[in-house]
Amino acid sequence: MTYHPTLSPEQKEQARHGEHMFPLQKYITTLSELYPSVSPHWHDEAELTLVTSGACTYQIHLDTYEVETGDILFVPPAVLHSITASPSHGMCSETYVFHMNFLGANTADICAVKYLTPLTNQTLALPRLIGKNHPAYNTLLDIFRRISRAYADMPPGYELLLRSFLLQAIVALLPYSSETEAHSSLESEHTFKLKLVLEYIGEHYAEELTISELSRICYFSEYHFMRFIKKYVGSSCLEYIKNLRLEKAAEQFAQGERSVLDTALACGFGNLSYFYREFKKKYGMTPKKFIESIPSGEVHTPYHYQ
């Protein structure tokens, strides 16, 4: 029997992408040493992204994609995904997050039945990474630029234009799509468990976390759990937690927090000397120097919507 897990509601991104009547939102994402990653998350909407500068690694479902400047990505609805910037280059991207219902997936016509609903249900898979050598790249890049212009200029009927351009993007990729069976039982189970444990860490990173506690969430032995995390996250579980805590601390500093002690404690570091050492190792400067390097009065975030 095929395993059909329910997606983790706690890990579901809570932000609304656009309005109820116009479920489309543009995001500019900038990753750097300050914000080197976007944590694993999922949402009901699909994403179409152009990497405008730098390089990064995308994790989509359980697959890893090395992404360069100019690459285009399509992330299906309700799929776990994360981004990690290249340490030497950083990354900037332009993303349009849209609900498939905006394109008509909730209707009962032939377009919904043959294409939009299968895309939503992931029984029809479009290419996720469209690089410069992909046959659809030039067409898709032109469509992306049209989307960007229409979104910025808002000419009369721009909502219809944006819908039509997104449909054109799907049409451009359809010749390279593939029908898929439901994910294997093991693959679906691993995805579900990965969502659960990463969400738990994201909610409780400031607390004491143990391998024993986290492995029980996945119903794995500690040995199996450590191998599982290493395989799908790319680092040990303890390293992942430490990096997340450091990034949360840097985020607090960037948003105006000036107390190193309060920030360290709030992010799960009980030993101030250890926090100083690991922060300097990651960011190349002490927390105080990091705070001083942020222009006064400015608040920094890794991405903003337009």
CATH number for position 40: 2.60.120.10
CA–CA dist 258, 277 (Å, integer) = 18
Residues 167 and 53 in one domain: yes
- The answer, yes or no, to whether residue 139 has pLDDT greater than 70, is yes
Tens of pLDDT, residue by residue over 44-53, are 899 999 999 9
Instruction: Provide the pLDDT confidence category of residue 71 given band limits of 50, 70 and 90.
Output: very high
Residues 82 and 154 in one domain: yes
Query: Mean per-residue pLDDT for 152-163?
Result: 97
Range of the domain at 281: 205-293
Domain boundary, last residue among 179, 195, 224: 179
Q: Beta strand pairing status for 91-98 and 46-54?
A: antiparallel
Residue 95 belongs to a domain: yes
Instruction: Provide the pLDDT confidence category of residue 3 given band limits of 50, 70 and 90.
Output: very low
What are the residues facing 178 on neighbouring strands? 125
Query: Mean per-residue pLDDT for 95-105?
Result: 96
- Look at residue 89 in the predicted model and tell me its pLDDT: 81
CB-based contacts of 9, cutoff 8 Å, min separation 6: none
Residue 193 belongs to a domain: no
CA–CA dist 271, 269 (Å, integer) = 6
Residues 145 and 111 in one domain: yes
134: which 2 tokens? 């992909």
Residues 105 and 213 in one domain: no
Residue 12 belongs to a domain: no
Query: Mean per-residue pLDDT for 120-134?
Result: 94
- Look at residue 17 in the predicted model and tell me its pLDDT: 59
Domain boundary, last residue among 164, 179, 194: 179
Residue 168 belongs to a domain: yes
Instruction: Provide the pLDDT confidence category of residue 183 given band limits of 50, 70 and 90.
Output: low
65: which 2 tokens? 């994609």
Query: Mean per-residue pLDDT for 280-293?
Result: 89
Residue 278 belongs to a domain: yes
Residue 161 belongs to a domain: yes
Residues 147 and 251 in one domain: no
Residues 143 and 100 in one domain: yes
Helix (H, G, I), strand (E, B) or coil at 155: coil
- Look at residue 301 in the predicted model and tell me its pLDDT: 58
Residues 145 and 245 in one domain: no
Total tally of structural domains belonging to the chain = 2
Q: Write down the mean pLDDT value for the chain.
A: 87
CATH number assigned to the domain comprising residue 236: 1.10.10.60
Residues 43 and 157 in one domain: yes
- Look at residue 25 in the predicted model and tell me its pLDDT: 95
Residue 97 belongs to a domain: yes
Instruction: Provide the pLDDT confidence category of residue 100 given band limits of 50, 70 and 90.
Output: very high
CB-based contact 162:147 (threshold 8 Å): yes
Query: Mean per-residue pLDDT for 129-158?
Result: 98
- The answer, yes or no, to whether residue 262 has pLDDT greater than 90, is yes
- The answer, yes or no, to whether residue 22 has pLDDT greater than 90, is yes
Tens of pLDDT, residue by residue over 192-229, are 888 889 889 989 999 999 999 999 999 999 999 999 99
Query: Mean per-residue pLDDT for 7-32?
Result: 71
- The answer, yes or no, to whether residue 163 has pLDDT greater than 90, is yes
Residue 14 belongs to a domain: no
Rounded percentage of the chain residues whose pLDDT exceeds 90 = 61
Cα angle: 39, vertex 227, 204; to 5 degrees = 40
Residues 42 and 167 in one domain: yes
Residues 212 and 175 in one domain: no
Residues 171 and 220 in one domain: no
- Look at residue 2 in the predicted model and tell me its pLDDT: 33
CA–CA dist 31, 90 (Å, integer) = 5
- Look at residue 62 in the predicted model and tell me its pLDDT: 80
- List strands edge to edge, sheet with 91-98: 129-130, 72-75, 46-54, 91-98, 24-31, 303-305
Question: pTM here?
Answer: 0.73
Query: Which of the pair, 21 or 183, is modelled with greater confidence?
Result: 21
Domain boundary, last residue among 143, 164, 179: 179
- Look at residue 8 in the predicted model and tell me its pLDDT: 46
Residues 28 and 172 in one domain: yes
- The answer, yes or no, to whether residue 106 has pLDDT greater than 60, is yes
